[in-house]
């Protein structure tokens, strides 16, 4: 496994991040335990979760609870992993029947404190390495958010603050507010980015580079679209929505899969390796449903794509034309 610094921070993370969105709702607890153990054995030290993950176990919060019980086994597990959690949406697993009626999405000081407390309790830990804002909240000032995060940092409950699903201007405004308040600023952004959806290249990637932020990628396989032919895969890729998406992109996918055959690599591995060729990208989040799927991605950080291959991928999956404003202006 290869490692890199998370943006301009001094914290090193693995080039693959284990996503836990399927924990509790699609993967049994004992299989989740086995997957996390195997991830550690592979050298993956970076786990991503959220209080909203794990529907089906006490409504929400199920993924965090499973991770917490895994960590509670000891054996150095907690010290071996870097945990990125999130705050924004309503988490019914934490609120009681009176509070949930008044709970709303957002990033208020109250909300940040409340959700951090709940996440730490479910994870059975006393701190988070990264606490990510799951979405932008335009109804709450950046100053209020930063003051809340600053309290949590001083209490030792969180180390770094990250964003997720922020626009480029949101990142800039948030970081500049942090600078004015003499705060550390954002350490990372987590966004949707893959070969079939390259809109991030317009403004978010340049913003991350400008402010020295790590970039964590979710949906690196476009929800399974870039993972290979449906008959060879299981789960989301066989859904009606995926069949429609594949039909819409049939020509591109056939050319892509042929190129992967020529490279003697699976489509999933090539799609993940392409992301890692961007110097701003810290790690894509992989969300396997089985240990076998996890093992298939083990060699991704070691795959080197030639300039010719990168050019071929650009021809199959054209980006937005570069960074803004050059992508659309002189």
Task: Point out the residues that are catalytic.
Answer: 53
CA distance 227 to 206: 27
Residue 253, both tokens: 């996918």
Q: Exposed, middle or buried by CB within 10 Å (0-12, 13-18, 19+), for 127?
A: middle
Q: Which residues contact 143 (CB under 8 A, 6 or more apart)?
A: 177, 181
Residue 302 vs residues 55, 272, 273: alpha-carbon distances, Å = 35, 11, 8
Asked if 47 and 83 count as a contact pair (C-beta separation under 8 A), the reply is: yes
Strands (E), the chain: 3-5, 12-14, 17-19, 46-48, 82-87, 128-133, 158-164, 186-192, 214-218, 281-286
């Amino acid at each position: 496994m290869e490692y890199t610094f998370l943006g301009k921070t001094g914290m090193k993370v693995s080039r693959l991040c284990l996503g836990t969105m399927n924990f509790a709702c699609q993967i049994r607890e004992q299989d989740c335990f086995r997957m996390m153990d195997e991830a550690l054995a592979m050298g993956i030290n970076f786990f991503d979760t959220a209080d909203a993950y794990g529907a089906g176990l006490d409504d929400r919060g199920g993924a965090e609870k499973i991770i917490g019980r895994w960590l509670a086994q000891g054996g150095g597990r907690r010290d071996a992993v870097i945990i990125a959690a999130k705050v924004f949406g309503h988490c019914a697993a934490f609120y009681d029947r009176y509070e949930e009626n008044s709970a709303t999405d957002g990033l208020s000081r109250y909300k940040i404190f409340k959700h951090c407390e709940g996440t730490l309790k479910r994870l059975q830990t006393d701190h988070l390495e990264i606490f990510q804002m799951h979405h932008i909240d335009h109804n709450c000032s950046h100053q209020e958010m930063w003051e809340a995060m600053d309290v949590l940092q001083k209490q030792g409950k969180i180390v770094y603050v990250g964003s997720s699903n922020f626009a480029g201007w949101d990142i800039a405004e948030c970081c500049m507010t942090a600078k004015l308040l003499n705060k550390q600023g954002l350490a990372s952004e987590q966004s949707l980015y893959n070969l079939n959806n390259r809109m991030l290249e317009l403004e978010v990637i340049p913003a991350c580079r400008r402010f020295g932020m790590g970039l964590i990628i979710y949906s690196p396989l476009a929800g399974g679209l870039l993972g290979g032919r449906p008959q060879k895969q299981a789960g989301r890729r066989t859904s009606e929505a995926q069949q429609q998406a594949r039909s819409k992109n049939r020509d591109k996918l056939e050319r892509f899969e042929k190129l992967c055959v020529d490279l003697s690599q699976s489509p999933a591995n090539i799609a993940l390796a392409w992301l890692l060729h961007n110097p701003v990208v810290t790690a894509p989040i992989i969300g396997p449903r089985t240990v076998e799927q996890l093992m298939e991605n083990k060699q991704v950080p070691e795959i080197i794509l030639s300039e010719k291959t990168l050019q071929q991928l650009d021809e199959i999956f054209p980006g937005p034309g570069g960074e803004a404003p050059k992508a659309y202006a002189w």
